[in-house]
């Protein structure tokens, strides 16, 4: 009996532990106020995770440049926005980015000159499907900071445009929208996906309409609104409406774009052309939607 | 020369016996395989982040192995009093220094080979691309750099009192050189005199270990520096190793061993 006593006590304690655990489990979930879906990152890092999210996004940019990137000592030369990540070759953004990334001046001494042989010194961007390499960092960045919109739009752009994965792009954008329900950037990107990948223009128009409403709510009263996004939304909406034969609304949206565009002349010409088509097609004007 | 190699053999056997290498290798392998198993948007071709993580772990592991193993060589011989029969063989003090250096450096090379074999397998099977010359250059440059590290730690082991303090100071110095070495000249011009001269002198004095870190080239599939540049870098590292080993011998030859 004496030899069995410690084992019996151990079994008793184990049963007691199990009973207390089962009793407390439901209460602990209630303490958490139903927020048990928080990611491990959020639990571990708290708000400090946003700093790491930024670093993960920078890493994606480093990969995009195949290792050619300013160090912490050349940070004044680091890209300031994310537009170069989705800029087309030969575009104004791309040219500005090329100028910005010319951060390596002439070497100051023989050590630096020789050291350049062991440093990536050629500016290039990933291509031919290798853009997939930036995706893990973008995924990590989104995990760490779900409120960072650029992470979703950049990842979705490459997923649908170059990697042929529109379903994954849509899923990621929807994840972004769940975390940022009022984001006009995410809605605009979702509209592009419907239009360009699924060729579902009607759905794209609806999403862009919503994006325009969200833009007006959020940016309309700002001193320096995000006019570039407004221009993109309005132009895409106008194109879709033009293809659907809804020239009246297309003109309305092109006028919105022309007001904020840095190069409005081409848009004004298009408006005049559409106006001419509209006048020759129907003498009785319809009421525009906006 | 045979005595040097005999001493080196003993040091290498120590690496087999100790668990450091095995633990670090298993840790590297497990973390890399875990990284490889993560699903990023259902794309199985993502490889650079895996290469990046694996190479970072290889670099950290190699540095840990080199510094900890070298730091305890001479202090352990003194503490266990085995240095006296060793020197009575007769083995000169310069042979002890060279033997310890060769043993630690070869052991690091052996460890690097195992680590890189794993890396090449993971990277090659994932992207179906086997740039063996690139890998050879990367291994060679890292091993050459470890030669300087081993010499530096060996010098520290005859200067500092305990292996722990030596290892800590060496880790700080190595990390400092790897992170800041390339930028010291630019930092110098931003300082006022006399700090500017001090930082500039430091820039020209420290061994530029960062040259040998070509991970970015391997990760991003960029062509590594040419053979001539690798050769010159090897000569640079050999020169620094020689200077550090000579300094080690200068301190060690007059050092009282019975304290």
Confidence at residue B89, expressed as pLDDT on a 0 to 100 scale: 76
Within an 8 Å CB–CB cutoff, is residue A175 touching chain B?
A: no
Taking alpha carbons only, the member of B141, B166, B184 closest to residue B55 is B141
pLDDT band at A76 (very low <50, low <70, confident <90, very high): low
Contact check, Cβ <8 Å, B210/A118: yes
Rg of chain A on CA atoms, in Å: 27
Q: How many CB atoms lie within 10 A of CB B97?
A: 27
- CA distances B229 to A275, B116, B211, Å, are 66, 22, 10
Q: Which of A125, A128, A136 to mutate to test the interface with B (most CBs of B within 10 A)?
A: A136
Indicate the burial class of A37 (C-beta count within 10 angstroms; 0-12, 13-18, 19 or more): exposed
HEC string of B175-241 equals: HHHHHHHHHHHHHHHCCCCCHHHHHHHHHHHCCCHHHHCCHHHHHCCCCCCCHHHHHHHHHHHHHHH
ipTM of the complex: 0.85
Q: How many CB atoms lie within 10 A of CB B68?
A: 18
Summarize the confidence of residues A100-106 as an average pLDDT: 76
**Are the C-beta atoms of residues B153 and B167 closer than 8 Å to each other?**
yes
Indicate the burial class of B245 (C-beta count within 10 angstroms; 0-12, 13-18, 19 or more): buried
Measured CA angle at B14 (ends B10, B20), to 5 deg: 155
As a whole-number percent, the residues of chain A with pLDDT over 70 amount to 85
pLDDT band at A171 (very low <50, low <70, confident <90, very high): very high
**Are the C-beta atoms of residues A101 and A79 closer than 8 Å to each other?**
yes
Evaluate if residue A252 carries a pLDDT over 90. no
Least confident of A58-62, A71-75, B64-68, B73-77: A71-75
Confidence at residue A23, expressed as pLDDT on a 0 to 100 scale: 86
Structural domain including B233 reads 2-253
Q: What is the distance between the alpha carbons of residues A187 and A161, in angstroms, rounded to a whole number?
A: 17
Q: For residue range B190-214, what is the model confidence (pLDDT) as tens digits?
A: 888 888 999 999 999 999 999 999 9
Confidence at residue A288, expressed as pLDDT on a 0 to 100 scale: 53
Indicate the burial class of A165 (C-beta count within 10 angstroms; 0-12, 13-18, 19 or more): buried
Contacts of residue B142, defined as CB under 8 A and 6 or more positions apart, other chains included, come to B59, B62, B112, B212, B213
Confidence at residue A109, expressed as pLDDT on a 0 to 100 scale: 87
pLDDT band at A266 (very low <50, low <70, confident <90, very high): confident
Any idea where the domains of chain A sit in the sequence?
A: 41-179, 182-280
Confidence at residue B137, expressed as pLDDT on a 0 to 100 scale: 94
Evaluate if residue A221 carries a pLDDT over 60. yes
Task: Enter the pTM of the model.
Answer: 0.83
Within an 8 Å CB–CB cutoff, is residue A73 touching chain B?
A: yes
Confidence at residue A37, expressed as pLDDT on a 0 to 100 scale: 52
Taking alpha carbons only, the member of B184, B210, B3, B164 closest to residue B89 is B3
Q: For residue range A121-145, what is the model confidence (pLDDT) as tens digits?
A: 888 888 888 888 999 999 999 988 8
A182-280 CATH choice from 3.40.50.10860, 1.25.40.10, 2.120.10.30, 3.40.50.2300:
1.25.40.10
- CA distances A30 to A18, A33, A42, A44, Å, are 19, 5, 19, 20
Q: What is the distance between the alpha carbons of residues A217 and A215, in angstroms, rounded to a whole number?
A: 5
Cβ-Cβ contacts under 8 Å, A119 against chain B:
182
Min Cα–Cα distance to chain B from A205, Å: 27
- Considering only alpha carbons, which residue of chain A is nearest residue B185? A108
Buried b (16+ CB within 10 A) or exposed e, A241-271: bbeeebbbbbbbbbebbbeebeebeebeebb
Min Cα–Cα distance to chain B from A123, Å: 12
Contact check, Cβ <8 Å, B204/A111: yes
Contact check, Cβ <8 Å, B222/A120: yes
- Considering only alpha carbons, which residue of chain B is nearest residue A108? B185
Contact check, Cβ <8 Å, B220/A67: yes
Kindly state whether residue B259 falls inside one of the protein's structural domains: no
Q: How many CB atoms lie within 10 A of CB A133?
A: 26
- Considering only alpha carbons, which residue of chain B is nearest residue A113? B182
Summarize the confidence of residues A20-36 as an average pLDDT: 74
- Low pLDDT (below 70) residues in chain B: 259
pLDDT band at A75 (very low <50, low <70, confident <90, very high): low
Kindly state whether residue B221 falls inside one of the protein's structural domains: yes
Q: How many CB atoms lie within 10 A of CB B53?
A: 18
Summarize the confidence of residues A170-177 as an average pLDDT: 93
Q: What is the distance between the alpha carbons of residues A20 and A33, in angstroms, rounded to a whole number?
A: 21
Evaluate if residue A36 carries a pLDDT over 60. no
Within an 8 Å CB–CB cutoff, is residue A128 touching chain B?
A: no
Q: For residue range B122-148, what is the model confidence (pLDDT) as tens digits?
A: 999 988 888 899 999 999 999 999 999
pLDDT band at A178 (very low <50, low <70, confident <90, very high): very high
Contact check, Cβ <8 Å, A137/B49: yes
Taking alpha carbons only, the member of B15, B156, B189, B193 closest to residue B75 is B156
Indicate the burial class of B94 (C-beta count within 10 angstroms; 0-12, 13-18, 19 or more): middle
Kindly state whether residue B258 falls inside one of the protein's structural domains: no
Q: What is the distance between the alpha carbons of residues A57 and B79, in angstroms, rounded to a whole number?
A: 51
Could you give the number of structural domains in chain B?
1
Confidence at residue A88, expressed as pLDDT on a 0 to 100 scale: 66
């Amino acid at each position: 009996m004496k030899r069995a006593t410690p084992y019996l006590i151990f079994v008793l304690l184990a049963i007691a532990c199990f009973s207390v655990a089962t009793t407390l489990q439901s209460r602990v979930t209630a303490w958490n106020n139903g927020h048990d879906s928080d990611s491990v990152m959020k639990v571990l890092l708290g708000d400090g995770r946003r700093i790491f999210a930024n670093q993960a996004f920078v890493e994606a940019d480093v990969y995009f440049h195949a290792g050619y990137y300013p160090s912490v000592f050349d940070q004044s030369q680091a890209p300031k926005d994310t537009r170069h990540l989705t800029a087309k070759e030969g575009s104004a953004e791309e040219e500005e980015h090329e100028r910005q990334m010319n951060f390596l001046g002439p070497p100051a001494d023989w050590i630096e000159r020789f050291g350049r042989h062991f440093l990536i010194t050629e500016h290039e961007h990933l291509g031919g499907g290798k853009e997939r390499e930036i995706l893990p960092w973008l995924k990590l960045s989104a995990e760490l900071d779900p409120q960072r919109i650029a992470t979703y739009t950049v990842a979705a752009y490459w997923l649908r445009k170059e990697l042929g994965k529109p379903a994954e792009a849509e899923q990621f954008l929807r994840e972004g929208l769940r975390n940022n329900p009022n984001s006009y950037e995410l809605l605009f990107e979702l509209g592009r996906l419907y239009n360009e990948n699924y060729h579902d223009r009607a759905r794209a128009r609806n999403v862009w309409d919503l994006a325009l409403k969200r833009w007006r709510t959020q940016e309309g009263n700002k001193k320096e609104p995000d006019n570039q996004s407004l221009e993109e939304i309005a132009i895409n909406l106008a194109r879709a409406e033009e293809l659907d034969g809804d020239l009246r609304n297309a003109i309305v949206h092109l006028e919105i774009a022309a007001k904020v565009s840095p190069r409005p002349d081409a848009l004004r010409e298009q408006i005049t052309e559409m106006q001419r088509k509209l006048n020759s097609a129907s003498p009785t004007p319809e009421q525009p939607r906006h | 020369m045979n005595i040097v190699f005999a001493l080196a053999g003993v040091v290498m056997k120590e690496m087999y016996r100790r668990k450091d290498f095995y633990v670090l290798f298993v840790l590297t392998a497990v973390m890399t395989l875990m990284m490889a198993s993560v699903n990023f948007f259902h794309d199985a071709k993502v490889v650079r982040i895996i290469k990046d993580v694996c190479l970072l772990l290889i670099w950290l592991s190699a540095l840990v192995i080199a510094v900890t193993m070298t730091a305890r060589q001479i202090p352990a011989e003194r503490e266990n009093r085995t240095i006296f029969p060793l020197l009575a063989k007769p083995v000169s003090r310069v042979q002890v220094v060279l033997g310890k250096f060769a043993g630690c450096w070869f052991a690091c090379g052996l460890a690097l080979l195992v680590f890189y074999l794993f890396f090449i397998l993971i990277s090659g099977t994932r992207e179906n691309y086997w740039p063996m010359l690139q890998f050879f250059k990367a291994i060679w440059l890292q091993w050459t750099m470890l030669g300087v590290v081993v010499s530096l730690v060996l010098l520290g082991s005859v200067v500092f009192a305990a292996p722990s303090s030596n290892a800590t100071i060496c880790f700080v110095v190595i990390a400092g050189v790897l992170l800041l070495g390339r930028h010291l000249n630019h930092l110098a011009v931003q300082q006022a005199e006399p700090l500017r001269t001090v930082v500039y002198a430091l820039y020209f004095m420290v061994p530029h270990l960062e040259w040998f870190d070509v991970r970015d080239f391997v990760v991003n599939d960029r062509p590594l520096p040419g053979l001539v540049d690798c050769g010159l870098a090897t000569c640079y590292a050999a020169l620094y190793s020689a200077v550090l080993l000579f300094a080690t011998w200068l301190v060690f030859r007059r050092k009282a061993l019975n304290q």
